[in-house]
């Protein structure tokens, strides 16, 4: 964590690029895993995206309580 704070202070553009890439890769990994789980059920191709977004919304709403 100290390395990330140091990177944020010294090179903020690089820090935000790394954060953006981490979010994109993490989201695509979640969609891939959801596709593997929901794939055999014969659902439409957009179902994993809806499932991941639904879970993220559920987590966000529970954290606000």
Q: What is the pLDDT of residue 26?
A: 92
38 vs 21, more confident:
21
Q: How do the domains of the chain map onto residue ranges?
A: 2-63
pTM of structure: 0.67
> Is residue 21 over pLDDT 80?
yes
Q: Which residues of 5-16 are buried (b: 16+ CB within 10 A; e: fewer)?
A: eeeeeeeeeebe
CB 23 within 8 A of CB 33: no
């Amino acid at each position: 964590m100290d390395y990330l704070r140091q990177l944020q202070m010294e090179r903020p553009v690089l820090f935000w690029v790394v954060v953006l890439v981490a979010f994109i890769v993490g989201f695509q990994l979640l969609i891939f895993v959801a596709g593997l789980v929901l794939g055999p059920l014969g659902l439409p191709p957009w179902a994993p995206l809806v499932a991941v977004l639904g879970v993220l919304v559920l987590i966000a709403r529970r954290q606000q309580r």
